[in-house]
Amino acid sequence: MTLRDIPVLFNGPQTLGRGKLFWLGVAAVIVAAAIYPQYAERFAISNTAYFGVWVFMALGLGLIWGYGGMLSFGQTAFFGLAGYAYGVIAINLGAAHSYPFLALICALAIGTAFAAVLGYFMIYGGINGVFVGIVTLSVTLAFATFMNQTAGPQWRIGRARLNGYNGMTRIPSLSIDWLDGHRIRFEGATFYYLVLGLLVVTYLALRVLVNSRFGNVLVGTRENPERVELLGYDVRRYQLGAFTIGGFLASLSGALYTAWGNFIVPASMALPAAAMPIIWVAVGGREDLTATLVGSFVVLYVFQALTVVSQEYALVAIGALLVVTVLIAPGGYVIWAVDMASRLRRRAGPSPPLSDPALKARTQRG
């Protein structure tokens, strides 16, 4: 592989955006995000990092649902499990040395393992379609209900008290020690840069994944699993892989959220919380990573702005947004906007062939 072959890894039929103009735009966004903390207030920096933390969960759901065709409500279960695991381990180990970083690694392993086990029994057990949503929603609500009733003093793991619906508090922030004894605490701008770096790496890695053979087979499974099986692929293995990777990203979101706020509550796994990732992904566009990324940030910002006025009104407004999305732009507003722009360009002049295979396929389906 030469340097000229590297861009091919990030571009393909399963993602929108290719060519110099797109990647220059991506680079400009990353540069703007990198210099943002130099001019923003501390609260704004922390709040933007908060948005970024949730996007990992959305990207994972986009892989499971948008590319794999499995509507899952289990993202918040993996989120909560990893969040509580990080809290319990970090409280018991303390903030010395690099123990919080070790707690993060363990939390990711626990959440990902749970996602893999749950996905294995569902997928290899023949559960598919709407029943995936039912099973994952049941698991999520059962976990949230259980954590709500852990308020008594007997509900503790070592020094960590679960505290029921009040949640765990005083959880150490993420930190790591260098060889010279210097400690880096990931708080404020430092935590923001950590989230930004992880988001860039995750986005690029997922683009490579979905444009590889794995992604092509996964999309083929979403469209016609019987035909993919006839071609000799074990569709269950690809579905399980996507479900496990999505669970890992949701676990990363949960562990980072707990390290960011130094607390975790069962409400983060309740029914409204379980439905929110579905809305983020649906509004942006579940069949494309860039659409999911952009749409999630926008919906998170709007939802927070509405929550300042009234949390109840915010939930109603977001629910109405989902209904309108299904009626007007079922593929997501970002995909709809790109599609409309392409149609306007074709009407304004000659009709050249679409240069983006992903947009061409969506236009032909629509």
pLDDT score of 310: 85
Query: How many C-beta atoms lie closer than 10 Å to residue 40's C-beta?
Result: 15
| Model pLDDT, residue 362 | 58
Tell me what the mean pLDDT of segment 27-42 comes to.
Answer: 95
What was the pLDDT predicted at 309? 83
Neighbours of 128 (CB within 10 A): 15
Tokens of 94: 């303390």
C-alpha distance from residue 142 to each of 23, 77, 129, 275 (Å): 43, 9, 21, 15
Residue ranges covered by each domain of the chain: 3-365
CB distance 143 to 269 below 8 Å: yes
What confidence score (pLDDT) does residue 361 get? 58
Mind listing the pLDDT tens digit for each residue in 248-273? 999 999 999 999 999 999 999 988 89
What is the average pLDDT score of the chain? 90
Q: What is the pLDDT of residue 5?
A: 62
Cα torsion through 103, 109, 198, 247, rounded to 10? -130
- Rounded CA gap, 80 and 292, in Å? 21
162-169, long-range: CB < 8 A, 24+ apart: 162/84, 164/266, 165/265, 165/266, 165/267, 166/265, 167/263, 167/264, 167/265, 167/266, 167/267, 168/84, 168/87, 168/88, 168/91, 168/263, 168/264, 168/265, 169/262, 169/263
pLDDT, residue 365, reads 54
Only one residue has tokens 């569902």, namely 122
CA separation for the pair 88, 72 (Å, rounded): 26
The two tokens of residue 351 are 């009709």
Crossing angle of the two packed helices 333-348 and 357-365, in degrees rounded to 10: 90
The 10 Å Cβ neighbour count of residue 106 is 18
Mean predicted confidence (pLDDT) in 23-31: 95
Residue 103 near residue 94, CB atoms below 8 Å: no
Other beta carbons within 10 angstroms of residue 4's beta carbon come to: 7
pLDDT digit string, tens, across residues 100-151: 999 999 999 999 999 999 999 999 999 988 899 999 999 999 999 999 999 9
Return the closest-CA partner of residue 50 out of 245, 202, 258: 258
Angle between helices 235-261 and 42-61 (to 10 degrees): 160
